[in-house]
Structure 1
Amino acid sequence: MPQDARSRSRRRAPARRSRGPRVLLVAALLAVCALAGGWWLWAGPGPATKDMSIVVPEGATLSRAATDLEKAGAIHSRALFLCFAKLLGEGDSIRAGEYRIAPGTSARRILAMLQEGKTRQRLVTVPEGMPSILVAEALAKAPGLSGEARTPAEGSVLPDSYAYVRDEPRAAVLVRMQKAMTDYLAKAWSTRDKGLIVTTPREAIILASIVEKETGKPAERTTVAAVYANRLKAGMPLQADPTIIYPITKGKPLGRRILQSEVRAKNGYNTYTMRGLPEGPIANPGRASIDAVLHPAASKALYFVADGSGGHVFAETYAQHQANVAKWYAIRRARGEM
């Protein structure tokens, strides 16, 4: 080879060697960018733009869940989700159930939810004093439940908010409601005052259902319970208006005034035409009303009437009661209600 050619060859050699570090630098930068981008897709805001529900079936794999999440638009990439899950998911298995995915929830957070089993909690609420016919309707209307549930026995359900998961049987939720009442009543009965007029847990529930319907003021419950206990001890009729309504509507609102013919009606519930407790509860009483019956106030009152403020005024004698009734009528006349 001529000398000048060899010289040119030697001069070009360093140029070829210098490309190596540059290529490595570019590759490293690209890797860093790819990793940063992947991390952003993993830990940054997810693609969900609205609340969505994702159901993970019993026995479903992480791969199956990732497919469903991608189809629903909850994660950016199934492959990326599985990759980071295997690298950073600590190997925990996922749990079946319904999950609520809020807008922007990251893939990282979604995986944590699936592994922790933080399923979506749906609620069906039974307010204090709700009759069983309406409990059955509430269960029937509760979205996401399956099957049917019978109308429970009156007074067998403890008012509360009950959580359930999607596709849970309505009958199973009702069983929990009734077990809650059984458990609470047993505990409350074991700590009852001595010398009560009610002698069985069922009698306590019957009287508590009347107390529940007669007052919406928590502070009055024990005094209302005392009035009815005093009447029972004296052999007087309870004369509780809600007991007249129950046979007519099964506890639903009457929507009108009680008729005189209904006041005089004889049946197992009308406490105007019978003495003692009605034959059964007229609603599902709450904890406070049950406690009021089992721990009534130390009161000698035998009567009560509305006081115009949403509460009642109590009296020990009929003369006092008549005076209180006259005041109540005056309030109603002033309001244009009479």
Structure 2
Amino acid sequence: MPESPPNDDQFADLFSKLPDPNQRGGGDSSASPPSRREARAAAQRGDGSATPPETIAASADQPVADRVPESAPLDALFVDDVSEREHVARLRRDRRKSRIAGWVVFGVVLALLGGLTAGGFYVWNTYEDKIRAFMGWEEPKDYEAGMATGEVSVTIVSGDNGASISQTLFDSGVTKTADAFYDHLIATAQNPTFQPGVYSMQQQMTSAAALEALLNPANKQEYTAQLREGLTVEQSLPLLADGIGLPLADLQAAVVDPAAYGVAASSLEGWLFPATYTFDPGATAPQVIQTLVDRSVASLDAAGVPEADRQRILTTASIIQREARLDEDFYKVSRVIANRLADGMKLQMDSTAQFGFNELHDGTASSSAEALEDPNAWNTYVVDGLPAGPISNPGDTAIDAAMHPAEGDWLYFVTWNMDTGETIFSATYAEHEQGIAQWDQWCADNDNRGC
């Protein structure tokens, strides 16, 4: 038979070469339909079979026009690999932008949460007392009955009152807070007379039990005297007399001549070491004083103080003892003293002005205007350098701090919380003014207690 005449319709010829949809997979109707990629590759070959992957990969970089033969099916003419690549690239860019946007949002959320947390800490630290009072979360100021344990010696000094004894009991671990004992006296309308001396007590006592113990003569220790840090000679001698039963006049006469005890100074101020002492009933006043001086020498030697520097170190240590409230601050206060002396600044320590003006024992941290202006040899608001001598009896920590000040550039400090003794140290006066403002606020919120 003659061959079929050529078809002048090119599109019809193309359609005639398209695979029969009813005969996919070589006529096997049960075979799985080819993928779009396989169909496109088969259309390019015109044989309905899938192009090997290596052939597809090899032709991927060719222009579309070169990769589509003239006899390719109609749908191959509209294949646009470039558009497909751009579409994929656009999807990738969109995903990358989405990830970046997600991280940005995450960072903003973290910043907001961090700001809220920091703000919460600031509010709590600043207004904790008021928040606790408003919410009814205040902790009890007193220990509960039955918690008392151990044994501790508490010294009552001549002239002590309810407020100062309340602080002493707290410092000794007897009561839970600094004002618990005093509040108990006010609440129960009591104003007893306290006898100077050393009393055997327990720690973690209720205020009521502590009061009962102080009023019980059986708790007063005989032939025992306890001198706490920071006392002066004037304060120490009555405690010695009351504790060991010696006449006060004998002790006052015994301290007149420091040279009798090997002290090259005009006074024994600073040389009566603070500690608890027990003497035999027959001990004389000079023997008692010699015991205290020897204990000071032992502390100076332990700190590595040269004999020629003893008086200077005791003077510095006595200021540290009166100014620092917490043990860890002793060495910082020592550094402030050293830095101010090195810079040629006046020390301007309130404790020295108070000592020189005889108002060291009024129980406040601030000095009167008269004390600050009085031109005595101890007032470091007036004189340059160290005062004329020690202003109190320093303990081991203060003596060691005087020899080994902490490293720092501080020139100022202020104790802003008179209950806890927390202190702010500053290198500049602008920073110091901020600390003073914090102290002023605390004093205003606490009835100027101890301020």
- TM-score of the pair, normalised by structure 1: 0.58
Partner in structure 1 of residue 192 of structure 2 = none
Partner in structure 1 of residue 436 of structure 2 = 325
Partner in structure 2 of residue 46 of structure 1 = none
How far is the alpha carbon of 1:183 from its aligned partner? Answer: 2.5
- Which stretch shifts more, 322-331 or 311-320? 322-331
How far is the alpha carbon of 1:145 from its aligned partner? Answer: 4.0
Partner in structure 2 of residue 172 of structure 1 = 287
- The aligned runs of 1:140-151 (5 Å cut-off) are 140-145=241-246, 148-149=250-251, 150-151=254-255
For residues 289-336 of structure 1, give each alpha carbon's deviation from its aligned partner in whole angstroms, at most 9, with x where no partner exists.
Answer: 000111110111100112224221011111111122122222222334
Q: Distance in 2 between matches of 1:219 and 1:263?
A: 28
Q: Distance in 1 between matches of 2:363 and 2:299?
A: 33
Correspondence 1:298 to 2:407? yes
For residues 50-86 of structure 1, give each alpha carbon's deviation from its aligned partner in whole angstroms, at most 9, with x where no partner exists.
Answer: xxxxxxxxxxxxxxxxxxxxxxxxxxxxxxxxxxxxx
Q: Distance in 2 between matches of 1:191 and 1:261?
A: 37
Residue 234 and residue 138 in structure 1: after superposition, are their counterparts in 2 closer, same or farther (change >3 A)? same
1:226 aligned to which of 301, 318, 335: 335
Partner in structure 1 of residue 229 of structure 2 = 128
Task: Give the conservation status (yes or no) of the 8 Å contact 1:228–1:238.
Answer: yes
Q: Distance in 2 between matches of 1:255 and 1:332?
A: 14
Q: Distance in 2 between matches of 1:321 and 1:143?
A: 46
Between Structure 1 and Structure 2, how many residues are aligned? 212
Q: Distance in 2 between matches of 1:326 and 1:295?
A: 30
Letter in 2 for 1:172: Q
Task: Give the conservation status (yes or no) of the 8 Å contact 2:222–2:244.
Answer: no
Q: Distance in 1 between matches of 2:436 and 2:360?
A: 27
1:148 aligned counterpart, secondary structure: helix
1:201 aligned to which of 306, 310, 316: 310
1:273 aligned to which of 370, 382, 396: 382
In structure 1, stretches of 5+ residues that fail to align are 1-119, 193-198
- The aligned runs of 1:301-312 (5 Å cut-off) are 301-308=410-417, 309-312=420-423
Residue 125 and residue 295 in structure 1: after superposition, are their counterparts in 2 closer, same or farther (change >3 A)? same
Letter in 1 for 2:426: A
Partner in structure 2 of residue 212 of structure 1 = 321
- The aligned runs of 1:42-57 (5 Å cut-off) are none
Correspondence 1:253 to 2:377? no
Q: Distance in 2 between matches of 1:276 and 1:231?
A: 9
Correspondence 1:186 to 2:296? no
Q: Distance in 1 between matches of 2:343 and 2:232?
A: 29
Task: Give the conservation status (yes or no) of the 8 Å contact 1:303–1:316.
Answer: yes
Q: Write out the 4+ residue segments of structure 1 that deviate beyond 6 Å after TM superposition.
A: none
Task: Give the conservation status (yes or no) of the 8 Å contact 2:351–2:360.
Answer: no
In structure 2, stretches of 5+ residues that fail to align are 1-220, 256-266
Partner in structure 1 of residue 398 of structure 2 = 289
Letter in 1 for 2:361: P
Larger Rg: 2
Residue 263 and residue 163 in structure 1: after superposition, are their counterparts in 2 closer, same or farther (change >3 A)? same
How far is the alpha carbon of 1:122 from its aligned partner? Answer: 3.3
Task: Give the conservation status (yes or no) of the 8 Å contact 2:305–2:313.
Answer: no
2:271 aligned to which of 156, 173, 184: 156
- Which stretch shifts more, 142-151 or 272-281? 142-151
- Larger relative contact order (CA 8 Å, sep ≥ 6): 1
Q: Distance in 2 between matches of 1:252 and 1:186?
A: 29
Task: Give the conservation status (yes or no) of the 8 Å contact 1:126–1:160.
Answer: yes
Letter in 2 for 1:254: D
Residue 178 and residue 298 in structure 1: after superposition, are their counterparts in 2 closer, same or farther (change >3 A)? same
Task: Give the conservation status (yes or no) of the 8 Å contact 1:144–1:167.
Answer: no
Q: Distance in 2 between matches of 1:278 and 1:189?
A: 22
Letter in 1 for 2:394: P
How far is the alpha carbon of 1:269 from its aligned partner? Answer: 0.5
2:239 aligned to which of 125, 138, 147: 138
Residue 226 and residue 154 in structure 1: after superposition, are their counterparts in 2 closer, same or farther (change >3 A)? same
Letter in 2 for 1:158: F
2:303 aligned counterpart, secondary structure: helix
Letter in 1 for 2:343: A
Residue 327 and residue 255 in structure 1: after superposition, are their counterparts in 2 closer, same or farther (change >3 A)? closer
Residue 167 and residue 191 in structure 1: after superposition, are their counterparts in 2 closer, same or farther (change >3 A)? closer
Q: Distance in 2 between matches of 1:181 and 1:331?
A: 37
Correspondence 1:316 to 2:431? no
Q: Distance in 2 between matches of 1:169 and 1:300?
A: 48
1:221 aligned counterpart, secondary structure: helix
For residues 116-151 of structure 1, give each alpha carbon's deviation from its aligned partner in whole angstroms, at most 9, with x where no partner exists.
Answer: xxxx98321111111011121122222444782234
For residues 151-207 of structure 1, give each alpha carbon's deviation from its aligned partner in whole angstroms, at most 9, with x where no partner exists.
Answer: 461011211111211122122111111111122213323599xxxxxx822111001
Task: Give the conservation status (yes or no) of the 8 Å contact 1:145–1:166.
Answer: no
Task: Give the conservation status (yes or no) of the 8 Å contact 1:155–1:281.
Answer: yes
Residue 178 and residue 328 in structure 1: after superposition, are their counterparts in 2 closer, same or farther (change >3 A)? same
